[in-house]
Amino acid sequence: MGNFVTQQSRCTTVLLCYNSVVNIPTPERSGGIRNVVGVPVQGSDFFDREDERRTIWRRLETDHVLLPSPRRVGKTSLMRALAAEATDHGFAGATYVDVAGAADEREFVVKLGQAIARSPGATAIEKKLRRGPLARWLSRITSVTAGAIGVGLREERSKTWKELGEELCAALLQQNSRWLILCDELGIFAQTLLRRERGDATRARAFLTWLRDDVRQANTDPDAGGDMRWIVASSVGLPTLTDLNNIGDTINDFQLVPVGAFAPEVADLFLARLAQGRKIELEPAVRQRIVTKVGWPIPYYLQVFFATLTESRKVVTIADVDATFEKLLGLEYRTYFDWWSQRLVEELGRSRAHQARTLLTACAAKPEGVRADTLTALVGERITDPSEREWAEQRMFDVLESDGYWIRDGERYRFRSNLLREYWLRRHRR
């Protein structure tokens, strides 16, 4: 068998041999997992993503990582799992930060500082900060907390947000160790900057360029005193957003690691573990029916389907699965899917969102999808402005694919998710 390294994960023990990977179920995963809907899963409830995790840790040896995947595939849960195991991969510590609520650049730095203060190793970071731009403020308090850091960064007006952000990163690096930053919802923050400037990308470009040149690229040289790596994700696709606003070059230093749906066999095992956690019966044929009805087995849809299916049942039949599919498409469950329609306006603007909905409605009418030339002809019929028609023909199709609405299958485009397709038909009937 030769030399090998054993990696212990939450799902399997992985033996990395010279030319093969062998997955062996571990005792800790022999039981069930909890049915968690709406919030990221953590700890023992996190399931699989073995391939993605191996790829990410390998890419982080030399580069930063961007997770360019549609909403609800489990990126946040994955990032939290990576943060928890960072020290097993040579990092002194890890900081997870959600920047969705940041109103401007200083608020971004505030959230980063607060997250750093909550990280293991914050005491050593505090010592570095006390000798930097925040020295005057921090000298008034006895210990650094997330709240104190936030107040200090907001009120330290003698320094720009750039200077404060760079000081935070320098405090990490001056420990002469590797540190991992996991930045969630960067796309939403970039979108906030675009809205504040009414679509003018100058401000968003300046911020994202600073984050690339003065933070990520300036802090990857171990000989300079430390080594920092970034993992970035967002429920608003960052590649799509930057491409639409012609600022895609500001994220060109990332290695891309897409996160997609579970493979059918993994989805089946996931459902079996959920059933074990609830102590209910879920026969293989029933699990297969769920995966088929969902169509695009991402963790969120599987969790939602399982929760609705097992609300008042201990034994589940295939007929129950079909009834649950219909139930989820009712008005009371629309909140699970409405965001897919609403986000088009946020991302594309009202006029282009209308164009996108027209294409998606035509595509949803047929489970097998619609030919690309038929959709292109529809664009020509509905859009009279030549420049807008050219944009739709050259870019709209790719945007809808990268954002998870549809997928190209040969000469046809079809919805990725059966659930989303049926929702779309009922929500956007012509």
Which pLDDT does position 5 carry in this prediction?
35
Tell me the mean pLDDT in the region 32-43: 92
CB–CB of 33/44 below 8 Å? Answer: yes
Say what the pTM is.
Answer: 0.85
Q: In 3D, which of 277, 287, 270 has the Cα closest to residue 33? A: 277
Which pLDDT does position 145 carry in this prediction?
59
CA-to-CA separations, 260 to 71, 329, 334, in angstroms, rounded:
10, 23, 23
Q: In 3D, which of 309, 279, 272 has the Cα closest to residue 294? A: 309
Q: Whole-angstrom Cα distance, residue 122 to residue 145?
A: 9
**Residue with the larger pLDDT of the pair 280 and 237:** 280
Which pLDDT does position 375 carry in this prediction?
96
Instruction: Check pLDDT > 90 for residue 132.
Output: no
Q: Whole-angstrom Cα distance, residue 13 to residue 33?
A: 18
Which pLDDT does position 219 carry in this prediction?
64
Residue with tokens 């930045």: 183
Q: How confident is the model at residue 176 (pLDDT cuts 50, 70, 90)?
A: confident
Instruction: Check pLDDT > 90 for residue 229.
Output: yes
Instruction: Check pLDDT > 60 for residue 121.
Output: yes
Tell me the mean pLDDT in the region 279-303: 96
Instruction: Check pLDDT > 90 for residue 20.
Output: no
Residue 181: helix, strand or coil by DSSP? strand
Which pLDDT does position 349 carry in this prediction?
87
Instruction: Check pLDDT > 60 for residue 17.
Output: no
Instruction: Check pLDDT > 90 for residue 230.
Output: yes
Which pLDDT does position 356 carry in this prediction?
95
Q: For 419, left (φ over 0), alpha (ψ -120 to 50), or beta? A: alpha
Cβ density class 313-337: b for 16+ within 10 Å, e for less: eeebeeebbeebbeebbeeeeeebb
Share of the chain above pLDDT 70, in %: 82
Q: Mean of the per-residue pLDDT values for the chain?
A: 85
Q: pLDDT digit string (tens) for 87-97?
A: 999 998 899 99
Q: Whole-angstrom Cα distance, residue 247 to residue 240?
A: 10
Q: pLDDT digit string (tens) for 328-383?
A: 999 999 999 998 999 898 888 899 999 999 999 999 999 999 999 999 999 999 99
Instruction: Using CB atoms within 10 Å of the CB of residue 377, give its burial: 0 to 12 exposed, 13 to 18 middle, 19+ buried.
Output: exposed
Which pLDDT does position 240 carry in this prediction?
87
According to DSSP, residue 216 is labeled I
Q: In 3D, which of 119, 118, 172, 124 has the Cα closest to residue 146? A: 118
* Helix and strand element counts for the chain (H, E): 20, 11
According to DSSP, residue 3 is labeled -
* Cα dihedral across residues 410, 413, 416, 419: positive or negative: negative
Q: pLDDT digit string (tens) for 48-105?
A: 999 999 999 999 999 999 999 888 899 999 999 999 999 999 998 899 999 999 999 9
Instruction: Check pLDDT > 80 for residue 255.
Output: yes
According to DSSP, residue 145 is labeled -
**Residue with the larger pLDDT of the pair 256 and 113:** 256
Tell me the mean pLDDT in the region 173-194: 90
Which pLDDT does position 116 carry in this prediction?
85
